[in-house]
Structure 1
Amino acid sequence: MEFFATAQCRFTPDHIQDQVTGPRLTEFCASIDRVLEWSDAQDAGEVYCLWGQFRVRRERIRDGVRFTLPGCPNALAWTITATPEGTLIHCTINRCEHEPDFIESIEEFIADWVQG
């Protein structure tokens, strides 16, 4: 499943890559409660979020950044990228359908990124 939203703020890809870092995740997304640890060398760490505690990896991609939760049973991943229309938040899971409550939680997660 895929989820999209566009924040009306326009940032350059360099700005997103420089500012949206692992240690700062709680500043950008209210659904991420705490960054428990982060390794700048590995660009990975551990967070506590609305779904519980997960390892998270960050990578620079064209026009932004991608975060993945490698241990997540739904293989949740999201990207933050610069577009002409604003800043695009794109989230995916490896299921074609899911429980309505979980879908709502992903929509809340995306909305929190738009606010952040």
Structure 2
Amino acid sequence: MEFFSEIQHPHLDIPALKNLLTIDNLPSLCASISSATSDSGNAGNIYCLWGAFSLRRDEIRKGVRYALLDCPHALTWTITADEANEALIVHCTIDKTQPDPEFAESIEVFISDWSDGMRNALAKQAGC
């Protein structure tokens, strides 16, 4: 199943976006993530609303992809720039087409927290 949010933001700087989205910076960007530590820059551990997980971070063409490696639902999410629409996309997937309604609701909270956090971070970068 897929979940996503779109944040309007003109003139996204993709290298700056990737630099912002480090593992160690995740708690300041998403209220659903309590703590995060990086083992090697692209791997680490987080504690989030679902508990503790090993995390993998990969830079992709226009953003960053994260995966909870030991999540029973194969949860992954991306933060990417849609330059044509001047937007930032927060996109999350799991391996179930019909998840438990409570779990689906918690993913909506996760996406909302990411949207709020990125909106605030982008506003700070723009000096607003």
TM-score of the two chains, using structure 2 as the length reference: 0.85
**Residue pair 1:80, 1:88 contacting (<8 A) in 2 also:** yes
Structure showing greater Rg: 2
Q: What is the alpha-carbon distance in structure 2 between the residues aligned to residue 47 and residue 76 of structure 1? A: 13
Percent pairwise identity: 46
User: What is the number of residues matched between the two proteins?
Assistant: 114
Deviation at 1:8, TM superposition (A): 2.3
Deviation at 1:40, TM superposition (A): 3.3
Q: Which residue of 1 aligns with 2:99?
A: 98
Letter in 2 for 1:53: A
Q: Which residue of 1 aligns with 2:32?
A: 31
Q: Which residue of 1 aligns with 2:123?
A: none
Q: Which residue of 1 aligns with 2:126?
A: none
Q: Which residue of 1 aligns with 2:40?
A: 40
Q: Which residue of 2 aligns with 1:8?
A: 8
Letter in 2 for 1:50: L
Unaligned 5+ segments in structure 1 are none
Q: Which residue of 2 aligns with 1:67?
A: 66
Q: Which residue of 2 aligns with 1:21?
A: 22
Q: Which residue of 1 aligns with 2:81?
A: 82
Name the structure with the higher helix share: 2
Stretches of 4+ aligned residues off by more than 6 angstroms: none
Q: Which residue of 1 aligns with 2:115?
A: 114
Unaligned 5+ segments in structure 2 are 118-128
Q: Which moved more, 1:7-16 or 1:54-63?
A: 7-16
**Residue pair 1:7, 1:88 contacting (<8 A) in 2 also:** yes
Two-structure CA RMSD over aligned residues (Å): 1.1
